[in-house]
Amino acid sequence: MEFQIKRLLSQIFIFFSANLGALGFKTGFCYPFFYCNSCPAATSACPLRAIEHSVYKGSFKWRLLLFPIVILGFFGVTSGRAVCGWACPIGLLQRGTGKIARKLKKYPLIKKIGNHKIEPYLRYVKYVTLIGLVILTTALIGFMFTDICPVGILTGTIPTLILYPSKFVPNPLFWVALVIFILFLVLIFTVERGWCRYFCPVGAILAPFNKISLLHVSLVQREIFEKECLHCNACLNACPMGIDVINMNRDPECILCGKCINVCPKNLIKFERG
Amino acid sequence: MNKMIVLQISALIIVSGSLGGLLVFTDVYEEVHSGIVSVLCLSCLKLEPKTKTDFTFETAYGEPHPDFVLDNLTKGVVFLHYSEDACPGCDIMYPVIQNLFNITFGKEDMVYKVFSFEDLDVAYFYTNIDHASEEMENSFPIYDKDHISGLPMFAIITLGYNKDIIRPYYTTVYGTLGLDSDKDRISLLTELMQESIDIYNQNREGYNPDQR
């Protein structure tokens, strides 16, 4: 499990790097993951906020639209959704809550929800969120997604209210965002990586890059795999994204966490370059 | 397999080239830095700054008042209005200010207008941070009284008596002023303007802009 400790250290390191704004270090880059620029310690901009700025109320600032997309694209082409598994602070949070979600899976109701036939289709919600709430609603009406975003509540609102309790009061969307935040908590405590699976618009941008990324998770040669696989389902059970690892081929949901590689008793799954 | 390598290399060249090009040939880095990272996004926070209308002599970071403010204080009260392109609070306050002062202007314009309010000249400056001159942009943190760094922001600068000198004396309010209707917002700003004008009239005689 040394590999998973390395991944944890990477997530912790990136979390602190994302918060160097506390020391006055601020950049003009966008984060390649989901983190709020209104966090008092933020160093960079939320990629979704930059996209929203670019299309706000019908305006079109192509540079602001392209900038977060090429930053995410760079990470996507090199390592697919590895950012979700190795860098995203919300991924780090879900790494913690995932353990509870895994335990709750034993309860029949939770198991039933997880195995429901509509579950695979729910994964498309993140694409609808990206196009509908981040782009179309912003272009036609005004900011929507980042105004009710649960990650904003977690990384922006709560730290701000703790640091400056008497400086701010809730705005009209605060209570809507709070309800969504509570649902977000319920989700990540009941479904492992529930936010990444179903709702994260940054994941929706990164996911298609898994199809062409230089680094990806793959099975050994098919013939060897079929001959040697014990069908123990250890990989399937270990995968935090609920991927059918045995049948996967550059799955857009894979976050390259390497858990399937670690648990395979026959070492039939590996990281591959190219 | 070869096709995949070609695709990967092409994609890598495209994204790296685009990223490099954006950083070298456009000001997008600065735009993100000054427009998103450095300005606090109040709508992302789902919070509004508490409206505190107290006046003070001290600028936010101890910086001197800019020349354009000191010079205009010889004529009357100075009203500074800061905004940006993509900002829901700015969109709400935009018509409020237009109604209050009975003026019209484009959202991306830079506006400087002197008009009469309660028989006194008021110098009104509208600054859109995304399109502002350096001097106007630099004045934004100076009047950020409560260290919010959020938009919209309104500073009303008058003259006050402090340590035997008549000096600029100002208040700053933020966001939608913590009020729900345009009528209430106009009413609060009118009250602040009237208070500023009263203080100005008491102190205008002794003001010397060179006495900084």
Helix axis angle for A89-104 and A174-190, nearest 10°, is: 60
**What span, in angstroms and rounded, lies between the C-alpha atoms of A150 and B194?**
42
Compute the nearest-CA separation of A244 from chain B (Å): 23
In a domain, B169, yes or no: yes
Domain identity same for B77 and B154: yes
In a domain, B212, yes or no: no
Domain identity same for A127 and A27: yes
Residues of B with Cβ-Cβ distance to A212 under 8 angstroms: 4, 7-8, 11
Domain of A51, in residue numbers? 2-210
Chain B segment 7-46 residues within 8 A of A by beta carbon are 7-8, 11-12, 14-16, 18-19, 22, 26, 28-38, 40-46
Residues of A with Cβ-Cβ distance to B34 under 8 angstroms: 28
pLDDT digits (tens, 9 = 90+) for A202-217: 999 999 999 999 999 9
Are A38 and B86 within 8 A, CB to CB?
no
In a domain, B211, yes or no: no
Contacts (Cβ under 8 Å, ≥6 apart) of A74: A32, B12, B15, B16, B19
| CATH for B59 | 3.40.30.10
Domain identity same for A109 and A73: yes
pLDDT digits (tens, 9 = 90+) for A215-272: 999 999 988 998 999 999 999 999 999 999 999 999 999 999 999 999 999 999 999 9
CA A107 from chain centre, in angstroms, equals 25
Are A45 and B15 within 8 A, CB to CB?
no
Alpha carbon separation from A66 to A48, A55, A109, B20 (Å, rounded): 12, 11, 43, 12
Domain identity same for A118 and A246: no
Nearest-by-CA chain B residue for A172: B46
- Per-residue pLDDT at A107: 87
In 3D space, the residue among B23, B44, B41 whose CA is nearest the CA of residue A70 turns out to be: B23
| CATH for A266 | 3.30.70
Domain identity same for A128 and A227: no
Are B86 and A66 within 8 A, CB to CB?
no
Amino acid at B183: K
CA A67 from chain centre, in angstroms, equals 19
Residues of A with Cβ-Cβ distance to B45 under 8 angstroms: 38, 152, 156-157, 160, 168
Residues of A with Cβ-Cβ distance to B38 under 8 angstroms: 26
Domain identity same for A246 and A193: no
Tally of structural domains, chain A: 2
Domain identity same for A124 and A255: no
Domain of B19, in residue numbers? 2-37
Tally of structural domains, chain B: 2
Domain identity same for A79 and A119: yes
Domain identity same for B77 and B122: yes
Nearest-by-CA chain B residue for A175: B46
- Per-residue pLDDT at B211: 66
Nearest-by-CA chain A residue for B46: A174
Domain identity same for A143 and A205: yes
Domain identity same for A199 and A105: yes
Domain identity same for B112 and B7: no
Domain identity same for A177 and A153: yes
Tens-level pLDDT at each residue, chain B (212 residues): 689 999 999 999 999 999 999 999 999 999 999 999 999 999 999 999 999 999 999 999 999 999 999 999 999 999 999 999 999 999 999 999 999 999 998 888 889 999 898 888 999 999 999 999 999 999 999 999 999 999 999 999 999 998 889 999 999 999 999 999 999 999 999 999 999 999 999 999 988 877 65
Q: Is B47 part of the contact surface with chain A (CB cutoff 8 Å)? A: yes
Domain identity same for A96 and A162: yes
Domain identity same for B32 and B114: no
Of A163, A182, A210, the position where a domain reaches its end is A210
How many Cβ atoms from other residues are within 10 Å of residue B208's Cβ? 10
Question: Is the pLDDT score of A106 beyond 90?
Answer: no
- Per-residue pLDDT at B212: 57
Q: Is the dihedral of CA A63, A68, A71, A72 positive or negative?
A: negative
Domain identity same for B49 and B139: yes
